[in-house]
């Protein structure tokens, strides 16, 4: 039987029976092809959410094992004595994403072998190693990289699947480098002026502050306002002899054996061939002496990661700031775990966690004054996840997105016709799973926009109500703005940690949060004419305030609080 691993049309053939590795092998636009084909789809292994939790713990221990091993190896390769934390900051995000991607494809291909079919598949030859983390994240969501990854899993994992060479793969573009523009020129000028003076680094690209407050914060802290340019690793000739090595852990675990065989060949060039040049360039962009680094995204560019790792080696304190709404209420989050492990301080937006390096702070976003517009549209925020899983969190993974889209359509279908005319969909910039085509097939005339066509706050100003379909930052923003919001998502996919469940249950009891799309639609039908009246009711406002007391602290003098924090940390050290 023909095994289809990706959505590359060259891998499939409707003249023979096919076994599809996952839902990602099909696209909505190819319905005619699939309707005329005979195929089976392997059930996705992470549909079992308890298995997914076990795998999360397993992959955490796997990550810890290999970051320790790579610390020893890379220190020896580069004749340095860096800490494990140093390599966690520089290499950790890539290693995390790569291990999760490799494990997911390994589990899917194992299930294919358990089907008891004689399998043959068409996959490309060769090796492709993205030059930067940004480029890796781009390509790990595409067909060609995943086809190469599947080939490695089959060959190094000794799976009984025959591989035939695929012809020239469908073209995939590399991430384009940004050309210099006036803003970039300003960044370059500002950071060079700041280098001799600043002893605190606030990374603008990872900050939630506006440029105005960003500049004011620097001035309050006695710093030169500096916007440090992003610097990403680049592609280079892969020539390091270490790439040919087996890591040699000699584990009996088949997945560890797979990692040992292929990890060295896949390591990004910025930690092998171009390590010294990347490090040199990164350090040239930032101040030579630094007490604190405010950091709000653990998978930032190579420039800030190399700088932060070297600064921490020299005694600087890394202060991570919560940058979204999902991780801190999720049942588990791989990104949050990594972020905690590299930080001296982790600032929450309000949650008081009395353990580790957590510090209760305030919401670090600029929040304008926005009021509901009674005759405005109803704004519905939609999202979609990539076809190929590469980060394990207690959220929707890969083909599970199709069930989410089905529920979103079900919600829209149960809204009364007069209300449907008021709906305006707000799509994510990436059209994963052909979400637009699937919804437009049902509602061809529905109003819509994308997140890049208009800023969120501008859209809210024109709207009477926001409807959120996922647990993320927009929900928290609406709570802080006291802007009317309805929420609905499937709690089987969007899992909440046990400590947060009482607060989400209270939101559900107040009619803010729904887990049934039809029930949410019925509620919308009853309040759409005057959602503000419902929103300002005692029960709704009490549940909102209780949630905010737990997870969100808003301070009108945020910049002064940052100043107090730096003084407090200075006094401690």
Beta-carbon neighbour count of residue 22 at 10 Å?
A: 25
Give the tokens for residue 21: 């590795």
Give the pLDDT confidence score for residue 171 in this predicted structure.
46
The predicted structure's pLDDT at residue 169: 53
The residues, any chain, with a CB within 8 Å of residue 191's CB and separated by 6 or more, are 226, 227, 228, 229, 285, 286
The answer to whether the CB of 471 falls within 8 A of the CB of 481 is no
Give the other-Cβ count within 10 Å of 60's Cβ.
17
Biggest CA pair distance of the chain: 73
Please check whether residue 246 is in contact with residue 261, taking contact to mean a CB–CB distance below 8 angstroms. Answer: yes
Indicate the helix (H) or strand (E) that contains 3.
Answer: strand 2-4
CA-wise closest residue to 106 among 337, 262, 245: 262
Angle of CA points 222, 562, 300, to nearest 5°:
95
CA distance 326 to 35: 38
pLDDT at 175: 53
Tell me the two tokens of residue 498: 């046990």
Q: What are residue 520's phi and psi, to 5 degrees? A: -65, -40
Continuous segment of H or E residues that includes residue 215: helix 211-220
The pLDDT tens digits of the residues spanning 362-371 come to 888 778 889 9
Per-block mean pLDDT, blocks of 10 residues, the chain (573 long): 94 91 94 92 96 97 96 95 96 97 98 93 90 94 95 94 77 51 63 72 68 85 82 82 82 94 94 93 87 82 92 92 82 91 90 83 84 94 94 94 96 96 93 94 94 88 95 90 95 92 96 96 96 96 95 88 86 74
Q: What is the secondary structure of 25-45 as a DSSP string?
A: G--GGGHHHHHT--EEEPPPG
**CB-based burial, 80-91: b 16+ in 10 Å, e otherwise:** eebebbbbbbbb
Nearest to 310 by CA among 266, 276, 359: 276
Nearest to residue 540, comparing CAs of 503, 511, 516, 505?
511
The whole-number pLDDT of residue 233 equals 86
pLDDT at 557: 86
Q: Strand 447-450 vs strand 513-514: parallel, antiparallel, or unpaired?
A: unpaired
Six-digit token string for 467: 């409807």
Q: What is the dihedral of CA 438, 444, 446, 451, to 10 degrees?
A: 50
**What H or E segment, with its residue span, contains residue 49?**
helix 49-78
What is the model's pLDDT at position 247? Answer: 83
Q: What is the DSSP string of 131-169?
A: SSHHHHHHHTTSHHHHHHHHHHHHHHTT-SEEEEEP-SP
Among 308, 294, 292, 119, residue whose Cα is nearest residue 231: 308
> Residue 191 in 3-state DSSP?
helix
Output the pLDDT for position 88. Answer: 97
Task: Answer whether 95's CB lies under 8 Å from 67's CB.
Answer: yes
Would you say 152 and 103 are in contact if contact means Cβ atoms under 8 Å apart? no
CA trace torsion 61, 66, 67, 70 (10° rounding): 170
Nearest CA among 357, 361, 329 for reference residue 471: 329
């Amino acid at each position: 039987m023909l095994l289809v691993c990706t959505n590359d049309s060259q891998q499939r053939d409707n003249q023979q029976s096919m076994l599809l590795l996952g839902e990602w092998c099909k696209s909505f636009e190819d319905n005619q092809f699939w309707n005329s084909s005979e195929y089976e789809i392997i059930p996705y292994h992470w549909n079992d959410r308890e298995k997914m939790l076990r795998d999360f713990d397993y992959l955490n221990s796997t990550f810890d094992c290999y970051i320790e091993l790579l610390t020893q190896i890379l220190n020896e390769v580069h004749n340095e004595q860096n800490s494990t934390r140093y390599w966690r900051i520089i290499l950790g995000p890539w290693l995390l994403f790569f291990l999760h991607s490799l494990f997911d494809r390994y589990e899917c291909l194992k299930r294919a072998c358990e089907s008891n079919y004689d399998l043959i598949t068409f996959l490309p030859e060769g090796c492709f190693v993205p030059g930067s983390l940004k480029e890796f994240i781009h390509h790990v969501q595409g067909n060609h990289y995943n086809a190469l990854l599947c080939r490695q899993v089959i060959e190094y994992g000794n799976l009984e699947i025959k591989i035939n060479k695929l012809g020239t793969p469908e073209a995939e573009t590399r991430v384009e480098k940004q050309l210099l523009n006036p803003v970039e020129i300003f960044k370059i000028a500002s950071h060079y002026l700041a280098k001799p003076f600043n002893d605190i680094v606030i990374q603008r690209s990872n900050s939630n502050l506006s440029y105005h407050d960003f500049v004011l914060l620097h001035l309050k802290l006695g710093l030169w306002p500096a916007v440090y340019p992003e610097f990403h690793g680049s592609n280079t000739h892969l020539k390091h002899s270490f790439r040919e090595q087996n890591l040699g852990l000699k584990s009996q675990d088949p997945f560890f054996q797979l990692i040992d065989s292929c990890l060295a060949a896949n390591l990004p060039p910025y930690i092998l061939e171009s390590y010294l040049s990347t490090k040199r360039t990164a350090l040239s962009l930032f101040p030579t002496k630094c007490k604190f680094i405010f950091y709000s995204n653990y998978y930032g560019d190579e420039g800030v990661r190399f700088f932060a790792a070297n600064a921490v080696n020299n005694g600087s304190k890394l202060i991570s700031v919560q940058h979204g709404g999902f991780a801190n209420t999720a049942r588990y989050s791989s990104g949050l775990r990594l972020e905690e492990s590299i930080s001296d301080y982790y600032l929450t937006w309000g949650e008081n966690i009395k353990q580790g390096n957590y510090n209760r702070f305030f919401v670090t976003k600029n929040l304008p004054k926005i009021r509901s517009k009674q005759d405005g549209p109803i704004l519905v925020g939609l999202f979609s996840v990539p076809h190929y899983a590469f980060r394990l969190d207690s959220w929707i993974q890969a083909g599970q997105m199709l069930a989410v889209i089905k529920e979103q359509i079900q919600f829209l279908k149960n809204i009364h016709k007069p209300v449907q005319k008021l709906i305006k969909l707000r799509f994510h910039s990436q059209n994963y799973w052909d979400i637009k085509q699937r919804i437009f097939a049902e509602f061809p005339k529905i109003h819509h926009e994308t997140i890049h066509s208009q800023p969120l706050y501008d859209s809210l100003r024109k709207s009477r109500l926001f409807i959120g379909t996922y647990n993320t930052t927009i929900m928290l923003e609406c709570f802080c703005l006291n802007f009317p919001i309805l929420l609905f998502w499937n709690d089987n996919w969007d899992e909440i940690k046990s400590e947060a469940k009482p607060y989400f249950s209270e939101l559900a009891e107040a009619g803010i949060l729904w887990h049934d799309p039809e029930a949410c639609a019925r509620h919308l039908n009853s309040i759409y004419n005057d959602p503000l009246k419902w929103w300002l009711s005692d029960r709704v406002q009490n549940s909102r305030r209780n949630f905010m007391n737990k997870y969100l602290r808003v301070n009108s003098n945020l910049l002064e609080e940052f100043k107090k924090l730096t003084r407090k940390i200075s006094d401690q050290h």
